[in-house]
């Protein structure tokens, strides 16, 4: 049996695994509730396994399955994994740039050459999308939420700038939100509209915090990663539109949700 090395990112929502076999990297993810079966599969597939761990639940995985596993700080793993993915995609960012990790919550990291630091954090993220999504739709499925969001109209719930100015010329883009969910008691709306408004609220909050961070640190390039962007075209597209509006370059990495696991993998 050949020796295999792996990086594991045990987060609040997902378990992400990057492992190397026959010289090639493989990516797998599971709901965190399937942790036991996922790790059991990995150990069965590669009994002679070198592993590094990161993420909020990494200590649980270490204690239960890999007592000799290397622990890697989450922010270090995230930034190093993102830098490798940028190189693999041929994207060379010479100037300082910001990594926005949209996971269960959202964190911002400033990368400057070989240095990186966490500069900001917010509770707004995928956990918000799932939790509030369940409350406003009575559903409990991520794929259903993203499907609803993509088909809804945020303007049926959000009070937009153009709603306030009506026929007058608005001083800013009329499609921007003046107040999230402000039409909730006055206008008929569907579950799809609620999810579209929710995705927009999350995107706008992330956008505003990103704009402030970019201005403070004089950054023009923003790299978006994280599990909450998986198969979520509305959230991803809205973020991209806002970044363009603000004259910031948005980069969405393929396999960006695996940055933490990949950074851990590099430490093996």
**One of 21, 63, 74, 257 is an active-site residue; which one?**
74
Contacts of 29 (CB under 8 A, 6+ apart): 14, 15, 16, 17, 227, 257, 258
Residue 66 main-chain phi, psi, to 5 deg: -130, 70
Pairing type for strands 49-54 and 70-71 reads: parallel
Q: Which residues pair with 6 in a beta bridge?
A: 19, 51
Q: In residues, how long is the chain?
A: 268
Contact 256, 78 (CB under 8 A): no
**Any catalytic annotation for residue 139?**
no
Asked whether 156 and 193 are in contact (CB, 8 A), the reply is yes
Question: Mind telling me the catalytic residues?
Answer: 74
């Amino acid at each position: 049996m050949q020796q295999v090395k792996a990086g594991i990112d045990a987060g609040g929502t997902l378990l992400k695994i990057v492992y190397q076999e026959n010289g090639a990297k493989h990516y797998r993810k599971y709901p965190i509730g399937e942790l036991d079966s996922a790790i059991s599969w990995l150990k069965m597939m590669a009994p002679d396994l070198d592993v590094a761990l990161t993420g909020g639940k990494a200590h649980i995985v270490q204690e239960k399955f890999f007592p000799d596993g290397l622990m890697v700080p989450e922010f270090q793993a995230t930034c190093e994994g993102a830098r490798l993915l940028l190189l693999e995609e041929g994207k060379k960012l010479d100037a300082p740039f910001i990594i926005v990790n949209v996971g269960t919550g959202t964190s911002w990291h400033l990368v400057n050459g070989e240095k990186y630091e966490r500069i900001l954090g917010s509770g707004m993220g995928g956990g918000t999308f799932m939790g509030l999504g369940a409350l406003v739709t009575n559903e409990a499925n991520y794929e259903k939420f993203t499907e609803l969001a993509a088909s809804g109209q945020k303007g049926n719930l959000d009070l937009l700038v153009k709603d306030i100015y009506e026929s007058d010329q608005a001083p800013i883009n009329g499609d921007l939100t003046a107040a999230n969910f402000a039409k909730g008691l006055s206008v008929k709306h569907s579950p799809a509209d609620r999810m579209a408004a929710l995705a927009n609220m999350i995107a706008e909050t992330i956008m505003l915090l990103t704009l402030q961070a970019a201005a403070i640190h004089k950054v023009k390039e923003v790299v978006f990663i994280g599990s909450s962007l998986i198969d979520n075209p509305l959230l991803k597209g809205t973020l991209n539109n806002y970044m363009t509006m603000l004259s910031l370059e948005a980069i969405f990495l393929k396999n960006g949700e695996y940055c933490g696991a990949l950074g851990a993998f590099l430490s093996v």
